[in-house]
Amino acid sequence: MNVHENNLARNANTKNSVRNKSKASASERKPAFKAVLETPYQLNWPCPPTSISNGVLKDITGSFTDFKAKFPSESIAKGISPEERRKLRSDKKVENKSTPPLTPPSTLIGINSVTRDIEAGSTSTSRVVLACKSDVNPSRLLAHLPIQIAVNNSKNSHSIVLIELPKGSEEAMAITLKLKRVAVVSLTEQHPLTATILRRLDDIQKYTLTAPWLNGDQLVYIPTKINQLETSIPRDMRKAKEERKKVQAAKKERINAYKHHQSLKLKS
C-alpha cells in the first residue's frame, strides 16, 4: 500500500472520530451546567469605590505634573546651548543607562520594575502599588500582582497595598510623564503621597492581600464555593453512547491493524 492509499484509508477511518463529532451541528446538543469547586488559592483584585480610585488618580497625576514642572525634559528646556545639551545627555548615560530620565523620586514605573522590587521580599521598597488593570490588554500581564503581593505580605512584616485605578488612568499618567505607557506605579514609604493615599482608603486591610495558606500557625477556614460551569451534552445520550463505542472499536481496530502491518514488515 503506497502513501496515497494510506492517507485515504486514514481519512476514511477517522471521519467519525470524536474530533469530527465535536463539530456536529448545535441542534444535536443541549446546554447544561456542571458544578465545580472553586479553588481556595485564587485571590481577587481589591475593588475600591469610584470616589477613592478617582481621588488616588488625581493625587498621582497632580504629583507627576508638579514634578515635570520643576524638572522639564531636555526636549522642552529653553536657554540651553547645543554643547550643554550634549554634555547633559552624556552625563545621564554615564550615571544610569537602565533607568529612564526624569523619573520621580521614590517611584517605580513599569511592570518589570515593580515586579522585580516585589520579588526582592524583605528588601522591597514598595508600599503602595497602583495598577491600571482595566487599561492593560491583555489583562493577564498584571495577573501575577495579587498573588505576588499576597505572598510578600504573608512572609514579610513589610506589607504592600494594591489599588486598581479606574479605566483611562494609564493614558492619563503616560501623558503627564510624557511616556508611551504607564501600566503600574509603585510608591515607597518615603513618597509624599503614600500617607495621603493610605488615608483615602476605606479599609486598608481590604487592599493588603495575604495568602493564609502559607502561614501554618494561623489556620483559616475558607467556605466552600461551588461554581456552575456552562457546557453542553448530547440530546440523545443513548445514541451518543453507542456512537462512542463504535468510535472506540474502530480506533482499536486501526491500532491492531497497524501493529500487524508493522510485524509483517519486520518479518519481511
Confidence of residue 20 (pLDDT cuts 50, 70, 90): low
Residue 25 has pLDDT above 60, yes or no: no
Q: Are 129 and 140 in contact (CB under 8 A)?
A: no
Residue 149 has pLDDT above 90, yes or no: yes
Q: What are the residue ranges spanned by the domains of the chain?
A: 50-72+102-214, 237-268
pLDDT digits (tens, 9 = 90+) for 230-245: 888 898 888 889 999 9
Return the pLDDT at 179.
Answer: 85
Return the pLDDT at 92.
Answer: 47
Residue 203 has pLDDT above 90, yes or no: no
Q: To the nearest whole number, what is the mean pLDDT of the chain?
A: 79
CATH of 50-72+102-214, one of 3.90.110.10, 3.40.190.10, 3.40.50.300, 3.30.1330.30: 3.30.1330.30
Closest Cα partner for 132 from 45, 14, 37, 252? 45
Residue 78 has pLDDT above 50, yes or no: no
Q: Are 102 and 136 in contact (CB under 8 A)?
A: no
Distance from C-alpha of 204 to C-alpha of 198, rounded to nearest angstrom: 7
pLDDT digits (tens, 9 = 90+) for 83-113: 655 655 565 444 444 444 456 778 899 999 9
Return the pLDDT at 96.
Answer: 41
Residue 37: φ, ψ to 5°: -75, 135
